[in-house]
Amino acid sequence: MTPLLGRVHAAMFARSFAIQGSWNFRTLIGTGFAFVLLPALRAIYRDSPDQLAAAVERHSQIFNSHPYVAGIAVGAVARLEAEHADPDVIDRFKSAVRGSLGGLGDRLVWAGWRPVCALLALGLVFAGAPWWAGAAFFLASYNVGHIALRAWSFRLGLEHGRYVGERLRRSHIAEAQRALAGAGAFALGLVLPMAMSGGLVGARPMPAWVLAAGTAGVLLGLRFGNALRTPVLFALAGFALLGLLIGALR
């Protein structure tokens, strides 16, 4: 096994923030995956340019994952390469993890951590906090989780190599996803009364008819979910056009 030094790990971790830099419809984040892995490949194949080129070629193929947990695959593949594992085994490993890492990160971050942090930040805004508080709270809270997840993923992959799947099954990710969904629903419930009462447009108190209409809007939103989004956007654009038309005709 070729030992990978700490500075190689550090370079890979730093590069992992740019894993989606060359996102394209042909290989998705495949070339980004190779870009992140390059410091390890250069250390492993430093005396063999042909093997390095072949390894880069193999790792530039199609790959997809949530960017924050892609470190699990990158770390595990770096370890497999350092152990000089059979390239077919490495390819099979990548194929096996790429779908599950996408779903795992999407539920944990895009449908969990990010909306929870955003809703709490919006709560600060609607409650009348200073102008900087919402954005500062969001950036600070979100990135604590973001960077911790990237670091945890990368270390997990490096430590467990091809057995990272078993380690993942023993982790508490499913519980974390459920907890975040609950926290998100709570935060949404918390923020809605503040938004409806005028916090959304920075104007309190609003007339009773607006509050009644807001309540009706909330009930429709809860009933129809995301299907309501496009009609609402069209209605808002239509109202803006009507407002302009009324003014133009006066």
Which of the residues 190 through 249 are near other proteins (CB under 8 A)?
190-198, 200-203, 206-207, 209-210, 213-229, 232-233, 235-237, 239-240, 242-249
Please tell me whether residue 144 binds other proteins under the rule CB under 8 A.
Answer: no
Q: Which is nearer to other proteins, 64 or 100 (CB)?
A: 64
Distances 211 to 128, 188, 200, 217 between C-alpha atoms, Å:
18, 18, 12, 10
Quote the least distance from Cβ 107 to other proteins, whole Å: 10
Please tell me whether residue 163 binds other proteins under the rule CB under 8 A.
Answer: no
Quote the least distance from Cβ 120 to other proteins, whole Å: 11
Please tell me whether residue 62 binds other proteins under the rule CB under 8 A.
Answer: no
Residue choice 85, 173, 176, 181 for contact with other proteins (CB under 8 A): 181
Distances 185 to 49, 60, 71, 191, 241 between C-alpha atoms, Å:
53, 40, 29, 10, 34
CA distance 48 to 147: 34
Q: Which of these, 155, 185, 181, lies nearest to 79 by C-alpha position?
A: 155
**In the numeric block, which tokens belong to residue 167?**
């380690």
Residue choice 1, 10, 89, 139 for contact with other proteins (CB under 8 A): 139
Window contacting other proteins (CB under 8 A); options: 1-9, 75-83, 132-140, 151-159: 132-140
List the Cα angle 194/199/201 in 5-degree steps.
145
Residues numbered 65 to 104 that lie near other proteins (CB under 8 A) are 67-68, 102
Q: Is 100 exposed, middle or buried (0-12, 13-18, 19+ CB in 10 A)?
A: middle
Residue choice 118, 149, 156, 168 for contact with other proteins (CB under 8 A): 118
CA distance 94 to 62: 10
Residue choice 3, 26, 88, 175 for contact with other proteins (CB under 8 A): 26
Count, residues near other proteins per rule CB under 8 A:
108
